[in-house]
Amino acid sequence: MTDLEPALPGDAAPAAADPLHDQPHAIVERDGVRYTLLGTAHVSKASVEAVRAAIASGAYDTIAVELDAQRAQSLTDPDALARLDLVKVLREGKTAVFAANLGLAAYQRRLAEQLGIEPGAELKAAVVDARERGLSLHLIDRDVGLTFKRAMQTLGWWGRAKVSGGLMASLFFDEKVSDEQIEGLKEGDMLEASFSEFAADSPALYRTVIAERDEYMAAKLRAIGASGDRPEASAGKAREVLAVVGAGHLQGLTKHLGEDVRDPDALCGELEAVQQKSSFPWFTLLLAAFVLGGFAWGFWRGGLEVGSDLVLQWVLVTGTLGAIGCTIAGGHPLSILTAFVSSPITPLHPALASGTLSALVEVWARKPTYADFMALRDDVQSVKGWWRNRVARALLNFFLTSLGTAIGVWTGGARLLSKLVG
């Protein structure tokens, strides 16, 4: 049974019995479990009060929240960022996702400064109050990194460039959030608002950021009812579930929760899958064949002088431009040296990247402190802060060294080709 209950402003009688009487919500009963879906505004103090009142009513044995583990930790644990293993982020190739998260955090911070309320405060209240009361707590949203990757895969080259450029710009420039975006947040979703700032009117983006997550969260809710898993409370099957979600998810979540019949675990697995890039490094192998073949041709046709000149030009062009990128990022002398040495080599090896190697040396030479991590969200709001903060500077090192190396590869390759055909 599905029962969608709209807000009833001015109805005083239900207020004493139902703290949600004036809030958008829906009720779905399925498989012996009653799901109350509370649609919230991520920038509304009224939503915070409604969440706290609903939990305090004692009507629910289980609380589900539109968060993943990473976002929940970020909201409820101020020191979480300080425990980040930056070396692990660099080694595992998660630098771009980490930078994207910083971009989203910068956007949310601007909202907080304009509105005087922390975006997602009602989600934080749901997590904190559920834990304090010993209720079963479930984080039902998909990992934000997976959503970001799947969203980027749905966009074309230009769409990806717009989103990436917008996220990076949001890190450097403190622009005011428009009234239209704020109004959208009162009825929509935080991730949708964050992405749409950089890639509006994209059906593919909407599908990934909103519609897919409706399916995903509905499957997670069904799994709660089916398993009776209670990770933070005493054992027992969930019967009364309060799901705190953005108002933009209310209609879709109600539909999927009432109608979907697929196995919830299988559905979640499908919606978590990320298309893997081809495991065979065609471009790298072709580039290596071209460069090394050019060197061999130079030694064979022109002797030691011509061959050595080709090698020297490749090393100087790629190494110098990689080192310049690292220098602009304020890299340590050892990082700059690493960038120079690695830039001619890493483009020819599929498992190596000059930006990663240089950033790792930067982190080793200038180990970020606890204060750097704690000040990171503030420092990335200004251009000077990027060079002052050791964590931010390591990210700059990665991106600018990689960019310098890429420019060096195309420049060096063009010069090599001109020599071969000249």
**Could you write out the DSSP letters of every residue in 190-244?**
HHHHHHHTTS-S-HHHHIIIIIHHHHHHHHHHHHHHHH---TTS-S----EEEEE
Distance from C-alpha of 298 to C-alpha of 305, rounded to nearest angstrom: 9
The pLDDT assigned to 283 comes to: 83
Question: Could you tell me what percent of the chain has a pLDDT over 70?
Answer: 76
Q: What residue type is assigned to position 324 of the chain?
A: I
Give the CB-side neighbour count of residue 369, counting CA atoms within 13 A. Answer: 5
Distance from C-alpha of 311 to C-alpha of 416, rounded to nearest angstrom: 9
**Tens-digit pLDDT profile for residues 222-254:** 998 776 544 444 445 778 999 999 888 888 899
**Tens-digit pLDDT profile for residues 100-149:** 777 666 666 666 666 666 777 889 999 999 999 999 999 999 988 888 88
How far, rounded to the nearest angstrom, does the alpha carbon of residue 125 sit from its chain's CA centroid? 22
Distance from C-alpha of 144 to C-alpha of 402, rounded to nearest angstrom: 25
Retrieve residue 35's tokens: 């799901």
**Tens-digit pLDDT profile for residues 29-41:** 998 899 999 988 7
The pLDDT assigned to 342 comes to: 95
Domain boundaries, the chain: 2-272, 282-421
User: From its phi and psi, is residue 263 left (phi > 0), alpha (psi between -120 and 50) or beta?
Assistant: beta
Distance from C-alpha of 263 to C-alpha of 57, rounded to nearest angstrom: 32
**Tens-digit pLDDT profile for residues 408-419:** 999 999 988 888
**Tens-digit pLDDT profile for residues 260-304:** 999 999 999 999 988 776 566 788 889 999 999 999 998 898 888
Question: Could you tell me what percent of the chain has a pLDDT over 90?
Answer: 39
Parallel, antiparallel or unpaired: strands 240-246 and 62-65: parallel
The answer, yes or no, to whether residue 1 has pLDDT greater than 70, is no
pTM of this structure: 0.71
